[in-house]
Amino acid sequence: MEAIAELFRGLIGDHADIFTRLGALDFIVIAVNILLMIFARRILELIYHDNVSANRNLNRVHVIRALNLLIILSFGYYHLYLPTGDRGIGLKLVSVFVVIYLGYLSAHIIGYIARRKFGKTREVNGVKKSVETYNSRLMTLLSGIFIFIIVLISVVQILGFSGLLEAGGVIGFIGVFLALTHNAWAPDIFSGLIILNSGMAEEGDVVEITEGTPYIGVVYKTKMFHTEILNMVNNHRIMLKNAKFRDYTIHNLSKFASAKGLREKMGFKIGYDVDAAKVREMFEEAYEEVKKSADIGIEKQYELEIRVNDTGDHAIEWSIYYYTKDVRNLIKIRQFFREIIWQTAERHSIALATPMTHSVVNQQT
């Protein structure tokens, strides 16, 4: 205890009368900041309780607590180390951090209000949450720009750049910086707004992207600069720039155009030597077997459609069509359906492998 007391006395030094110099308002400011540091996580959980990941929320908690700590340290510097006649510097530091803190917190609160008022509630990956819409994102963006301008002007005024030339120089520097870097952020922001406005790839929708390596995924979140997609096969997240996402051909499997559901197609190549009636019988039997499974979400009230899709050089390509509304389990349905068809084809002695044919022409001399 003696060592701790000695350390405390060493830090305080000649400022042991600090508590006598602090007024009631000073204690209130310090107490409020300490409380905000303690309850920062809870405050952000109330704002983003259903719309943010744990890591992102933790980063915001760190920012809030860091700003609170800077306010307290600046306040202490103002009262401890600045001479009485030169306390304007300390007051400026405290004021700058308070303005930044209030601006940061206000931006998050307004964003929360915009999502609650203009957003919509959807189920994403089994969890109901408030998702962004065009109106909520636009309101958040405009309010963020407005708050940034207010904070910037306030900081410029607090730091003493009162002259038109000085203030214009500071604001102009920031404007030039944004103009030089707009190619890196502007296309993604506007593309994100277009994606939200079109409603063709909303959070929670199952989409299929065919460019590059084709994959099926769930739109997890459309953020300011990128879109996160949960890959349904490998169960990992994919990040796509909003501008790049708009360049792709996107098949939205959740927005089917029929009340029957999504019309799914599967193709099989079967040799010419197999009778068409036998092929149809095999597919019908497999479909009846699939309908017995309670775990497979197909629309069992509709008949299986069996069509000849192509007559190739080596085999006939048969296509079957069925309906499903359980697009989140589409991969599972496809795998199960193909397995049943393969087993049924084995029982009917029908080969699903594409046969090789050879045409031999006898020429008589």
Please provide the DSSP assignment of 83-101 as one string.
-GGGTHHHHHHHHHHHHHH
Determine the residue type at 141.
L
For the chain, give the mean pLDDT.
77
Rounded alpha-carbon distances, angstroms, from residue 129 to 111, 113, 121, 235, 341: 15, 14, 5, 20, 39
pLDDT tens digits, residue range 298-336?
888 899 999 998 888 888 999 999 999 988 888 899 999
pLDDT given at position 162: 60
Helices (H), 119-263: 134-158, 164-180, 182-198, 242-247
pLDDT band at 159 (very low <50, low <70, confident <90, very high): confident
> Do 44 and 60 contact (CB within 8 A), yes or no?
yes
The tokens for 49 are 């309780």
pLDDT tens digits, 204-251: 889 998 887 888 999 888 888 889 898 888 888 888 898 888 888 888
Domains of the chain with CATH codes: 2-180 (no CATH), 199-252 (2.30.30), 262-347 (3.30.70.100)
Rounded Cα–Cα distance for residues 217 and 251 (Å): 11
Confidence class of residue 1 from pLDDT cuts 50, 70 and 90? very low
**Is the pTM for the entire model greater than 0.85?**
no
Question: Which tokens in the block code for residue 70?
Answer: 């800077």
CA gap 159, 178 in Å, rounded? 22
Q: 296 with 328: CB under 8 angstroms?
A: no
